[in-house]
Structure 1
Amino acid sequence: MRVLITGGAGFIGSNLVRFINQSTPEWEVVSIDDLSTGSATNLDGLRVTAVEGSILDQTLLDALIEDVDSIVHLAAIPSVPRSVAAPRPSHEANATGTLNVLEAARAGGVEQVIVASSSSVYGSNPVLPKTEFEWTRPMSPYGVSKLATEGYTLAYNFSYGMKNLAFRFFNVYGPGQAADHAYAAVIPKFLDAALSGMPLTIHGDGLQSRDFTYVDTVAAVITTAIAEHTHFNDPVNLAYGTNTTLLELIERLESAIGTTVERVHEEPRVGDVRASQSDGELIRTMFPGVTPVELDAGLASTVEWFRSQRRSGG
């Protein structure tokens, strides 16, 4: 099995490479990443052929497709606030980039492309928990670009007979997630502040909720989907139905690190949804062999990774 991972040097991509190395060491893994948000050091010590380049380079993509059995398309410009500040790069990387990957796969005879969409596609839909068949109304350019990502991917199933799979990720977290940039996700941002003795900045009242999903759970589902050649003509929520407010998250982090933290409230951010939760039914039905990592266990592993980075000066 030869697997091409776009965005392989990013947080989720590098964790997926590690998971594949450990669970299916006979597989060959190739990564393409332009290192705009990922880091080459994320792949240190892993068995992977790492190519620096962009999914906007169609010629390069076409060349990498040779002998590939499955593509996992994770490359994107992430972050709702980043897309609000600069919508065009998000569109080009996330929508046009996905079209490029699909075209390379189609031309190269690769049947299965597994793509990362996002819970942000639900946007202003207030229904909780959400099934895959709730209406979508993105509130940010990022959400729109991810709706295009999954839309193109599933359209290629119908139009060209491909066997693709579109997962909607819900707030993935875990070791290796960067905290040192303006658009960092909430868990690494909170952890970095807490371990530095700094106050945690909460945008809004802190009662906004998320369905946090540990990165190894995501990697286990994707690896199973590759191994079992899973495909589906509708998007699939990759989350298991947790509903944790930011205030509850902070309490769990305090328990994990063994200390209390100061909290500072600021204005809500433009484009952020109030609540996000999957019902978790379809993912459990499709992947019954995957047991999701519970939030407290995932946070404990993440805290330990952050502490190890600090000890090593990373």
Structure 2
Amino acid sequence: MKAVLITGAAGLIGSEAVAFFADKFDTVIGVDNNLRKYFFGEAGSVEWNQARLKEKYPNYKHVNLDIRDQQALEELYKEYGTDIDLIVHTAAQPSHDWAAKEPFTDFTVNANGTLNLLEYTRQYAPEAVFIFTSTNKVYGDTPNYLPLIELEKRWEIVETHPYFDHGIDENMSIDHSKHSLFGASKVAADVLVQEYGKYFGMKTGVFRGGCLTGPNHSGAKLHGFLSYLMKCAVSGDHYTIFGYKGKQVRDNIHAHDLVNMFWHFYQNPRQGEVYNAGGGRHSNCSMMEAIEICEGVTGKKMNYSYSDDNRIGDHIWYVSDLTKFKNHYPDWHWKYNLEDILNQIHTGITVRV
């Protein structure tokens, strides 16, 4: 039997991974205890997605387990042992605002939980491929010191800069910057995954995501940019733009495109490799541009206001350079652009409502 273990299985990336790998593995083991509801309230609950996965995929086995629980996690690895061929680790506390409220919770979920998974993989499934969903927040606020110019609806990097054509690459320093506590806990996890690859020779890959998005995102106020924005556009609920004149730029990658990156890595893995993973120049927008698209999709004006209080450590302009990954895996390409993503999110929201 060949099995894939997916943590955060009922979340955005986890559930996309379940769907993607269900016909490629004999068993899909999904680990999720709906901590997202604890983080973000009822709006962030993934129970609906968990139920959908159980119903749709007969080879899906759901395990209600906290990755901080070493004993329970070790028992899971003992049960499936060397049958586990791939680990896709997406479980996390994902909000840098929330992390400041409960630093111990944030760090133990993001850093200690990742260490637990790595060590039990080393002990019980050493030949498995281990994929970690990291974040561009590991670079801290270093991107904010790039030479940026203000345009009518967005901030943009100057055309003469090496990052203009493709975005920010993996050579950007993760040191000497303000990360937020969330960013710091993800740095710890990110480096651990690299180290288990380089020190122990395990097949590990780190994917530093931009804005990860798609129709199965349980977007909430503190996390899930496009999903929460479209929720507000549909419902008429108030939305607040925090800082940078609403011109801050994010690149956005559909969950399917990210999981497809995982698939390519799995088929030809490396040891302790790091990739930036986002929409790049293919799919990016400012807050103001995203609001315009949402208004076009819904056919009504959004109810929003502006606050000068930008979020601590927030990026003014971030576009991922995927050149390194595309050089290593030239058959991979994006399937969805920004308009595709927002239309899918809109459809998903209206169906669930």
TM over 0.5: yes
Equivalent AA in structure 2 for residue 299 of structure 1:
L
Cα offsets for 1:61-97 (capped at 9, x unmatched): 2222222111111111111101122222111100111
Matching residue of 1:115: 132
Equivalent AA in structure 2 for residue 56 of structure 1:
R
* Alignment of 1:289 onto 2:339: no
Equivalent AA in structure 2 for residue 308 of structure 1:
V
Q: In 2, Cα distance between the equivalents of 1:184 and 1:236?
A: 22
Per-residue deviation, 1:33? 1.4
Equivalent AA in structure 1 for residue 85 of structure 2:
D
Cα offsets for 1:99-139 (capped at 9, x unmatched): 10000001113332111110011112124521011111342
TM-score by length of 2: 0.82
Local SS of the residue matching 1:153? helix
Cα offsets for 1:131-183 (capped at 9, x unmatched): 0111113420111111111100111112111111111011111112113x442
Matching residue of 1:254: 295
1:173 corresponds to which of 198, 206, 213: 213
1:244 corresponds to which of 272, 285, 292: 285
Q: In 2, Cα distance between the equivalents of 1:256 and 1:176?
A: 18
Distance change >3 Å, CA 138–CA 286, structure 1 → 2: farther
Local SS of the residue matching 1:198? coil
Q: In 1, Cα distance between the equivalents of 2:48 and 2:199?
A: 39
Q: In 1, Cα distance between the equivalents of 2:75 and 2:264?
A: 26
8 Å contact 2:8–2:30 — kept in the other structure?
yes
Give the length in aligned residue pairs. 306
Question: Which sits farther off after the overlay, 69-78 or 255-264?
Answer: 255-264
Correspondences of 1:82-121 after superposition (within 5 Å): 82-111=98-127, 112-121=129-138
Q: In 2, Cα distance between the equivalents of 1:303 and 1:92?
A: 34
2:49 corresponds to which of 32, 35, 42: 42
2:199 corresponds to which of 156, 159, 164: 159
Matching residue of 1:6: 7
Per-residue deviation, 1:276? 1.5
Matching residue of 2:315: 273
Matching residue of 1:197: 236
Q: In 2, Cα distance between the equivalents of 1:59 and 1:159?
A: 25
Question: Which sits farther off after the overlay, 73-82 or 37-46?
Answer: 37-46
8 Å contact 1:69–1:110 — kept in the other structure?
no
* Alignment of 1:15 onto 2:54: no
1:76 corresponds to which of 61, 69, 92: 92
Per-residue deviation, 1:28? 1.7
TM-score by length of 1: 0.91
Matching residue of 2:154: none
Matching residue of 1:135: 173
8 Å contact 1:239–1:283 — kept in the other structure?
no
8 Å contact 2:3–2:25 — kept in the other structure?
no
Counting aligned pairs with the same residue, the percent is 28
* Alignment of 1:57 onto 2:96: no
Q: In 2, Cα distance between the equivalents of 1:183 and 1:110?
A: 36
Q: CA RMSD in A?
A: 1.8
Q: In 1, Cα distance between the equivalents of 2:24 and 2:85?
A: 16
Q: In 2, Cα distance between the equivalents of 1:154 and 1:233?
A: 4
Distance change >3 Å, CA 4–CA 229, structure 1 → 2: farther
8 Å contact 2:201–2:271 — kept in the other structure?
no
8 Å contact 1:84–1:271 — kept in the other structure?
no
Equivalent AA in structure 1 for residue 340 of structure 2:
A
